[in-house]
Structure formats: structure tokens, C-alpha cells
A and B are shown apart, each in its own frame.
Chain A
Amino acid sequence: MTDAAIEVENLSFGYGQTPILESVNVAFPSNRFSVLLGRNGSGKSTLFNIMAGLQKYKQGSVRLMGKERSKMSFSDCARVLGFLPQFHKSVFPFKVKDVVLTGRAAFSAFTPRKSDMTKVGQAIEELGISHLADRPYTELSGGEQQLVMIARVLVQNPKIILLDEPTNHLDVYYQTYVLDRLKKLTENNLTVIAIMHDPNMAFLYADHCYFMKDRTVVTPTEQFDYHASTFLEYVYDVRFTTVMVNDKLMVVPGR
């Protein structure tokens, strides 16, 4: 067993002639909350789609818990990894518990089993949304919907969950609520990897931060800590000022 939940080596990818990723090397440690940051278009979502299996890759390797991703079937992969795509809109007003139940579809062919229902109950309780079980999904607020979709990933019993901008469109209350819950999940042998935009939120909650710049993951060296404003300036092309708030380092864009 390796220490890394996901290992990416020399991964390159592009649409036609346009390169999106160029020799990406990164390893996400298991049972930790890792956050991937970077500017729009730096290739974060594409990297996630490849790791989640929504996008095929030809050059390089991606290993999930030590196994090559491209050699795993959809349902093999579902046992290991759950993915939360960016925004989601449902046309039909399904009940919350029915939406969550569809997370079990890779394991039960035609009708869900009793044990599937139990898992749904556990997942929504773990996220503190049991009271929403019978409400129509379409009538929930953005934050509540996000929690429902996280519950839907949890019922898969994955070892790793990937979340593409889980705190997007959420108010501060739900941002902290969601991040608190995600952080808690890592205590139960889960690896959580999320894309985020706000570096301060990432610094507050993440165990590890990774940055993408120009189609690849850039790692700060030891002397060149990622809290350092110079490194962030390089990543975001914006000047930053660092401030200390209750012993925590925060950054403020501009000066």
C-alpha cells in the first residue's frame, strides 16, 4: 500500500491541438483534506475529470489506491472514488432521499435493497440534513442542495471523494458548514480532495494545498512556503499582502 490515495505521474492531456495539462505530477495523501487552487482555466477541472474517470487520458498514469485508473471499470472505480461535479440542476422535483439513493446505482441493478436505504439514512444524518429527507430537492437552497449531493457521493462508501468547487455559490454559513463536514469525513478513513477558489478558506481548513499554474501542478519548495505572498503572486498574477489573524496567516489581494 502506498501512502498516496491518488498518484498522478507525467500526465498530459489536450483537446485536439490545445494542450490542457502538461506533465502533471502530484500525489494526494490518503485520509487527508487536500485542496487544489489555481486560476480559471489552469486545468483544475480537467485534472479532476480525469481522476474521476469522466475523461480518458493517453499519456501518463493516474493511480487510485495503487491501481491504474484506465484499467478499472466504472463500477470498480465507484467502489473507490466518488465525485461531485460542479453545479447541478434537477428538472424533476425528486425527494431528497430519492436523489441520495441514486448514489447506490452502481451496486444495485434494478431495485435498491434495504441496506441501500439504511446507507441513505446514515449519510444524511452524518451531514445533518435528516430533516430534509422528504423535501423536494428542487426547492432547497444552494447550500442544502450541495449537502444532498455530498450525501449522494457518501452512500457509495468511497475511499476518496473529489469535489469540484463544493463551496461555490454558498453563503459564508454554508461554506464553513460544508468545509467543517468535509474535514470531519477525513477522520473516518476518507480522503477528501476539493477544488476551491478562496485561498484563505483553503488555508483555514485544508491539510494540504496544491496549486496549478500554466497547465501543471506547481509545488512551493521548502524555503518557498505557499503562504508566502510571492508564491501566491506567481500563481494568481495578483499582488498579495499577508496578515496575521489569531496566529493564522491570511492573505489579502491588492496591497
Chain B
Amino acid sequence: MRKVLTGFLIYGLPIPLLLYSLTVGPSQGLVFADYWDWGKAALQGDIHESSTKIYMLNNIIENVRLPRVLLTFIIGAGLAASGGALQGIFRNPLVDPYVLGISSGSAFGAALAIAFPLLHINVMAFVLGVASVVMTYSFAFSNNKSSIVAVILSGMIVSGIFTASLTVVQYMSDPYKLQAIVQWTMGNLHHASWDKIQTAALPVGIGIVGMYLMRWRLNLLALGEHEAKAVGVNPTADKATLVALATLTTSTSVAAAGVISMYGLFIPHLTRMMVGPDNRKAMPANIFFGGSFLVIIDNFSRSLMDFEIPIGIFTMLLGAPFFLFLMKKNKINWV
């Protein structure tokens, strides 16, 4: 029974959820009723009256809601998969792209690209994302040893460095660009468009497929470096590949939708509760459930208030108590 339920939550939920989400939005959700009326009217040969309304509705769904829902799903899947992969690689249940500083690094890179069009925004986000994860790793690890806390602390420092740098960029940009940067750093999906999907889908897709393929290797990495070498695998190449894939995914989604904090942290915990820690099952669960859950959060963020709550703030408010809960529950060895 429990298996059926978790199976549905993970694999059955996405399609109905995506369809339902098309009806959510500020211009009120009577989409199905409207289509129903239109269908009835059409049967009675009375097409002209309602067709302008339908035209508008089609337009909203096709150009506003559909790209948004799809982009949200892709980003949610990517962040959750990255979070799961990074937790395995660092052998640390408290990390995700945000905690490791990748998100802030990518945000700085992307902001640079917005303020001073040097390079493509995705490229800048990726380069700075890689820089930040390398920094976090080298600060936290000495002689191949580290602790959970050292990783979190150095992630915090790296995050701080790039957040400060981002503020400098904001300070130096003109008011129009400043507004764009500030809105976008809070994590915002309302600029979703087919263009954005086009630029984001391929890199995120590569990242997700790559992490999916390596899901069993991740089990081995999660046991530790020595344990991998002991059974004849050199973990360095696997680790580097997975970190690169997670960073590619994260930086692309940051470039597309800003910083969605802590999301990659709590989804892997939820999926582990559902299917267990074996990444052969947990990785696909992260991808599908991660996509669905972000769509759900986004539905709330755009319908709860008269204005949109930036989704990054929403996930942070959910993620922070979760992080504290994990900290207490895991009784982490602090040395």
C-alpha cells in the first residue's frame, strides 16, 4: 500500500499536476469552465461570441502558463537531483547547491552578465558556479579529510564572498538593471518564456540525464573515498563528473530563475523517507518529485497573495526550519 502511494506521489503526480497548474494564476482559474462554455456554445453554432475570450485564454496558457510550469518543473527536478548528488559526494546530508555556495557564485556570474554584457549569462553562471564549489571544497578539505561542519562553514564563507560581490555589482549598475538583478536574485519564475526554456532545457537535461546514469556510482561515492579505492575504483573522476553535472544544472537554473535557496537540501530528504537511501531509486525520485513539488510551491507563490511571492523566499522559509530539524535529528558528529 505504502509502495503504491509513494509510487503515485513520484511518478503519477507530475502529469495531472502540470495540467492543473495551467489553471492557476492571477487572471483567475476558471479555465476549464471557460473551455466548457466555449464547447457548449460551439455546439449550438454560437461561436463568435465567446471566441475572443478563448483566444485570450489560449494565449495566456500557451505563452505564459505553459512555459512557466514547464520551466518550474525542469528547474525543480534539476535542483533536487543536484542536491541528492552533492549530498552523496560530500557524504553530508546537510549540503545542497545553495549551502555549498554554488548558487551564490552562479548568481554573481549571472549578475555580471546582466550588468556588463561580457559573456552569455549561462556561461558566466557556470564558470562562477564551478569556481565557488572548488573554493568550498579546498577550504573545507585538508589532506582529503573534512567534517560536515567544515564543509558547511566554508560554503557559508564562499556564499558570503559572492553575495558581497553581487552587491557591488548591484551598487554599480543603473537603476533599471538594478531592479532586474534584485528581482531575479530573489528567485523568480514569472519571467518564464519559451526562450528561457530553450536556453535552459539542454544544459539542465544533460545534467539530469548524467546524474541519473551515475546513480549507482553515487552509492559507492557515498561510502567514502577509501572504501571506493578499496574495491578498485578511483573515485576522483566520478566525483569530478558528478560535481560538474550538478554545477551545470544549478548554474543554468540560477541563470534562468535566480536563487531558489535550500530546495536541493530538503527534497532528497523527503525522497529518502519515501524510497530509502539507495540512489538507484532515490535519484529518479528526486527528479520527478523535485519537479512536481516546485510546481506546487510555485502555484502557492502566485495565488496565495495579490502579488507574487518570489519563490526563492518561499523555499528558504520552508528550508530553514527543515535544516534545523535535520541538525537536531541527525545528532551530527561536530568534529
Contacts and interface: CB of A to CB of B under 8 A. Distances in A.
B40 interface: no
Contacts of A77: 232
A106 B232 contact: yes
Contacts of B232: 74-75, 77-79, 82, 105-106, 156
B278 to A, nearest CB: 5
B233 A78 contact: yes
Q: Which of A91, A103, A111 neighbours the largest number of chain B CB atoms within 10 Å of its CB?
A: A91
B214 A54 contact: no
B23 to A, nearest CB: 39
B224 interface: yes
Interface in A62-107: 74-75, 77-79, 82-85, 88, 90-95, 98-99, 101-106
Given A105-B233, A156-B231, A98 B92 contact: no
B219 A85 contact: no
A88 B320 CA distance: 31
A53 interface: yes
Contacts of B91: 91-92
Interface string B224-240: 10111111111000000
Contacts, number: 89
Interface in B231-259: 231-234
Contacts of B278: 94-95, 98
Contacts of A85: 226-227, 230
Given A85-B226, A102-B220, A105-B217, A95 B233 contact: no
A106 B226 contact: no
Contacts of A111: 216, 280
Interface in B269-310: 272, 276-278, 280
Interface residues of A, number: 34
Contact of B277 (A52, A84, A93, A110): A93
Contact of A103 (B222, B231, B276): B231
B223 interface: yes
B230 A153 contact: yes
B93 interface: yes
Contacts of A82: 230-232
A195 to B, nearest CB: 14
A84 B230 contact: yes
Contact of B219 (A79, A98, A106): A98
A108 B233 CA distance: 11
Interface residues on B, range: 20 to 34
Nearest to B276: A95
B224 to A, nearest CB: 7
Contacts of B93: 91-92
Contact of B229 (A53, A92, A152): A53
Given A91-B92, A94-B222, A111-B280, A106 B233 contact: yes
B213 interface: yes
A79 B231 CA distance: 9
Q: Which of B91, B276, B277 neighbours the largest number of chain A CB atoms within 10 Å of its CB?
A: B277
A168 B74 CA distance: 48
B213 A110 contact: yes
Nearest to B226: A85
Contacts of A41: none
B319 to A, nearest CB: 20
Contacts of A92: 88, 91, 93, 222, 272, 277
19 contacts: A52-B229, A54-B229, A54-B230, A77-B232, A78-B231, A78-B232, A85-B226, A88-B223, A88-B224, A90-B222, A90-B224, A92-B91, A94-B277, A94-B278, A105-B216, A105-B228, A110-B213, A112-B216, A153-B231
Interface of A: 52-54, 74-75, 77-79, 82-85, 88, 90-95, 98-99, 101-106, 108, 110-112, 152-153, 156
Which 6 pairs, one residue from A and one from B, show the smallest C-beta to C-beta distance?
A: A78-B232, A106-B232, A92-B277, A83-B230, A102-B220, A85-B226
Given A82-B231, A92-B91, A110-B217, 12 more contacts: A53-B229, A74-B232, A85-B226, A94-B219, A94-B222, A95-B278, A99-B223, A102-B220, A105-B232, A110-B216, A152-B231, A153-B230
